[in-house]
Structure 1
Amino acid sequence: MGEGGLTSLTAVIAPPSPPRPAARRRPFLPRLTHFASFGAPGVLVYLCFVMAPILISVGYSLTNYNPFKPPVKFVGLANYRLLFTDAQFLTALQVTTILTVIVVVVPNVLGLGVALLLDRKGWLYNALRSVFFTPVILSSVVVSIVWSRLLDDRGPVNTLLRSLGVSDPPGWLSDPDVALYSVASIVCWQMLGFCVVVYLAGLQGVPPELLEAAEIDGAGPARRFRAVTWPLLAPSLTINTVVLLISAFKTYDYVKVITNGGPGSGATATIAFNVLQTGFDSNHVGYASAMAVVMLVIVAVVTSVVLNFLRRREVDL
C-alpha cells in the first residue's frame, strides 16, 4: 500500500475528536453583584428623585393635605372631580395648550430656516452660530427680566414705536389679549438656538453624494431639499419637537417673572404656575398634587403619541 493510501486509511479510522464541554453559565450572584455595582447608583438616584416624588404626589392628591390645617383626611378622587369643574384649571389648560403649540411650531420652523442659512463654512458662519446659541445657555430668569424691561409700556420697544409715529403701541405685557403671545415669543426666542444647532447637526450628516446625484438628475434646490435633505432630518425633527413639547408644557419661570400669571385673571397662568401657586401660596397641597398628576399624565401621553408618530416617520424613510 502506498504512502497516500496509508494516509487515507489513517484519516478514515481515526477516532472522532471528543465533543467540547458546554460553556458553563457564570454564577448568578457574581453577575448580580456586578450589575448592582454599576447600575445601583443610577437606579437609586432615579428612585429617590423621580419615582418617589411622583408616588408621594399621587398619595397627596388623594387627601385634603394642608400643612396648616390638620388633620389629613383621605378624600379619594374628590380632588380630581373638582379639578375638571374648576374654571381656573381649565383656563390654565387652555393657556398651556396655546403656549405649547406656539413654542413647538415657531422655533422648529425658524430654526430650520436659520440652520439652512448657516450651513456653510467660514469664520462668519461659525460666529453667527455662537450668537444664535447664546440665549440657550442663559438662565430663563435672566431672559425674563431682560425682556420684561424691553417690553414694558414705557420700555425701549414702545419708545421706538412712538418715535416712529405709533401713538398707541400695544401693551405687550399688560394687555390680556397680547400678553400670552409675548411670553410665548420670549420662550421661542430662547429655544431657537437649540433648534438651530440640532438641525445643523442633521444637515452636516446629509451625504453630499446624494445631493450631487440629485443635482445631476436635474433636481433644483427646492426639489433636493424636499426629496433628500428633509427626509434625512427626521431624527432632528423628533429631538426638537419632543424637547420643545416637554419644555413648553412645564413653563413656570417665564410666567412667574414676567407677568405673575396676569394680566387679568390668569391670562398667562400655565398649569405649572397654578400648581406652585396652589401648593405653596394657598397651601392646598392635596389639590395642587392632583393638578401635578394630571399634568404629568397629559405630558406623558402627548409625548408618547408624538414620539411614536415621529419615529414611525423615521422608520418609513
Structure 2
Amino acid sequence: MQNKYRLAPRNPLHVLLFAVPGAVLYAVFVLWPLLLALWSSFTDEDAYRLTTSFVGFDNYGRLFTDPAYLQTLRNTVILALICIVVPNALGLGIAVLLDRAGWAFNVMRAVFFIPVILSSVVVAVIWQQMLKDDGLINASLRAFGVADPPGWLSDPSLALYSVGWITAWQAVGTCVVLYLAGLQSIPKELLEAASIDGAGPVRRFRAVTWPLLAPSVTIMTVLSMIGGFKIYDQVKVMTNGGPGVGTTSTLAFDVVRTGIDAGAVGYGAAKAAAMFFMIAAISLLAIRVMRRREVDL
C-alpha cells in the first residue's frame, strides 16, 4: 500500500526565514558587544576622557605586573577550587544516599534543591546577616561557651573561605540532581552482577558506579569551575571585596570595579577578555583530560 503522506521537500528559503531573526538577535546582542569589548581592550578608553588611543597589547601586559590583579587571580583560583571540590563531594555523597524509592527521599531531593532556585543575592544577604560578628552563628557559639568567635566576614584570613563556602553550599543541589540522574542511568544488572560476584557496597561503587558516573563528573566539574571563576554577587553583597584591600576580590568583581566603577573601560575590557580566554582554555583542557576516563555502556 502506497503511503499517501509524504514529507514536503525542504525549502532553503523557509530555513533561512526561521534562522535569520535568531541569528540577527544573537549577532546584535551577543557577538557585537563581545567584539566591541575586545576592541576596547586594545585601547586606553576611559569613561572620564573624551579621547581614546590604540595601545595594542599594553593593557594585557599590564595585567600580570599588577599586584592587585594577581591577588584577584589567586582569590579566584581558590574560590574555583572550593566550588569544584565541596559541591561535587557533598553532592555525590548525598545523591548516593538519596538514590532510593519512597516519598521521603523525594522530599529530601526537593529540600536539597531549594538553595539552587534562590537568587544568589538573596542567599548572600541571608548568610551575611548570619555570619556578622553579632549574627546568629556567633551568637550560637557564644551560647555554647565560645568567648571569642571568629569574624567570618571581618577577618581577612577567613572572609574568602566564608564566601567560597556559601557559594559551594548553594551549588550542592545542582550536583545532587545531576549525580542522581547519573546513578539512575546505571543499569541495575551491572550492580546485581557485581553483587553476585561477591563485591560489597564499597567495591561496587569503585568498580561499577564510579566509572559509569564519569560523564556526570566531567559536566559538574566544568560547570563548577566556570561558576567559581564567575563569582560576583556573593562578593559584592557580603564583603564588597574586603575586608581590607582586595582580600576577597574576584576576577568578575574586579572587571566591574575597574571598567564601570573606576571608568577605565579599556583596562576593564582587557581584564574581561583575559578572564574569558582563561575560562575557555581551562574548560577545554578539563573536558579533554576527564573524558579519557569516561566509559561507554
With structure 1 as the length reference, what TM-score do the two structures score?
Answer: 0.88
- AA paired with 1:103? C
Other-structure match for 1:52: 32
**Residue from 90, 95, 101 that aligns with 1:121:** 101
Q: Does 1:67 align with 2:47?
A: yes
Q: Does 1:109 align with 2:86?
A: no
Other-structure match for 1:4: none
204 and 315 in structure 1: CA distance in 2 versus 1, 3 angstrom threshold: closer
Alpha-carbon distance in 2 for matches of 1:37, 1:301: 35
- AA paired with 1:256? K
**Residue from 27, 32, 41 that aligns with 2:21:** 41
- AA paired with 2:145? G
* Structure 1 residue 52: Cα displacement: 1.7
Question: SS of the counterpart of 1:67?
Answer: coil
Alpha-carbon distance in 1 for matches of 2:58, 2:202: 56
Other-structure match for 1:160: 140
Structure 1 runs not aligned, ≥5 long: 1-25
227 and 315 in structure 1: CA distance in 2 versus 1, 3 angstrom threshold: closer
Q: Does 1:217 align with 2:197?
A: yes
* Structure 1 residue 45: Cα displacement: 3.3
Other-structure match for 1:263: 243
Q: Does 1:205 align with 2:185?
A: yes
Alpha-carbon distance in 2 for matches of 1:113, 1:171: 30
Note the 1:1-317 alignment, pairs <5 A. 30-31=11-12, 33-314=13-294
Q: Deviations over 1:178-234 (max 9, x none)?
A: 000000000011000000000001111111111111111111111111111111111
* Structure 1 residue 315: Cα displacement: 5.2
* Structure 1 residue 82: Cα displacement: 1.2
Question: SS of the counterpart of 1:64?
Answer: coil
Structure 2 runs not aligned, ≥5 long: 1-8
Q: Following TM superposition, where does structure 1 have runs of at least 4 consecutive aligned residues deviating by more than 3 angstroms?
A: none
Alpha-carbon distance in 2 for matches of 1:68, 1:273: 21
- AA paired with 2:53? K
Paired residue total: 289
Are the aligned partners of 2:125 and 2:238 in contact in 1 as well (CA < 8 Å)?
yes
Q: Deviations over 1:237-283 (max 9, x none)?
A: 11211111111101111100000000011110001101000111110
Q: Deviations over 1:275-299 (max 9, x none)?
A: 0001111100000000001000100
Percent sequence identity is 55
Alpha-carbon distance in 2 for matches of 1:305, 1:131: 34
41 and 311 in structure 1: CA distance in 2 versus 1, 3 angstrom threshold: farther
- AA paired with 1:252? Y
- AA paired with 2:191? L
Question: SS of the counterpart of 1:128?
Answer: helix
Alpha-carbon distance in 1 for matches of 2:125, 2:61: 37
Q: Deviations over 1:129-177 (max 9, x none)?
A: 0000000000000000000000000001000101111111110000000
* Structure 1 residue 48: Cα displacement: 2.5
* Structure 1 residue 37: Cα displacement: 2.5
* Structure 1 residue 313: Cα displacement: 2.0
* Structure 1 residue 40: Cα displacement: 2.6
Alpha-carbon distance in 2 for matches of 1:78, 1:71: 17
Are the aligned partners of 2:212 and 2:295 in contact in 1 as well (CA < 8 Å)?
no
Question: In terms of mean alpha carbon deviation, does 70-79 or 87-96 score higher?
Answer: 70-79
* Structure 1 residue 72: Cα displacement: 0.9
Other-structure match for 1:19: none
Alpha-carbon distance in 1 for matches of 2:22, 2:220: 26
- AA paired with 2:248? T
Q: Deviations over 1:3-46 (max 9, x none)?
A: xxxxxxxxxxxxxxxxxxxxxxx89xx42x23323333333333
233 and 315 in structure 1: CA distance in 2 versus 1, 3 angstrom threshold: closer
Q: Deviations over 1:49-94 (max 9, x none)?
A: 3322221111001111112211111111111111111111110000
Are the aligned partners of 2:232 and 2:252 in contact in 1 as well (CA < 8 Å)?
yes
